[in-house]
């Protein structure tokens, strides 16, 4: 968001980060899930830095979908929320 220079985008992303942080603090997360999630950030940043928006978008979508699937599995009891 910062790279865009868009005040609206920066503010929206900051608000999303606040809400997401609150949500993530409310549930225990296994270390492996955190490592996998954090590892998914690297291809997003690399694609952005390389000026490859399609790759960045695809990597971001994969990350969001994976996180969503994890939350759904957690809510359905298919994933344990402890290390």
pLDDT at 36 over 50: yes
Phi-psi label, residue 82: left if phi above 0, alpha if psi -120 to 50, beta otherwise? beta
Rounded Cα distance, 31 and 26, in Å? 15
pLDDT of 77 > 60? The answer is yes
pTM over 0.85: no
Q: Is the dihedral of CA 64, 44, 28, 13 positive or negative?
A: negative
Taking 80 as the threshold, does the pLDDT of residue 8 lie above it?
A: yes
Q: Do residues 77 and 71 lie in contact, with contact meaning Cβ atoms separated by under 8 Å?
A: no
In angstroms, the CA 20 to CA 53 distance is 24
Q: What is the pLDDT of residues 40-68, one digit of tens each?
A: 999 999 999 999 999 999 999 999 998 88
Structure confidence at residue 83 (pLDDT): 45
């Amino acid at each position: 968001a910062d790279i865009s220079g868009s005040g609206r985008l920066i503010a929206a992303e900051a608000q999303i980060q606040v809400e997401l942080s609150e949500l993530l603090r409310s549930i225990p997360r296994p270390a492996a899930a955190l490592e996998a999630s954090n590892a998914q950030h690297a291809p997003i940043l690399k694609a952005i830095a390389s000026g490859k928006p399609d790759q960045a978008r695809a990597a971001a979508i994969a990350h969001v979908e994976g996180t969503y699937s994890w939350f759904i599995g957690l809510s359905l009891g298919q994933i344990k929320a402890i290390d």
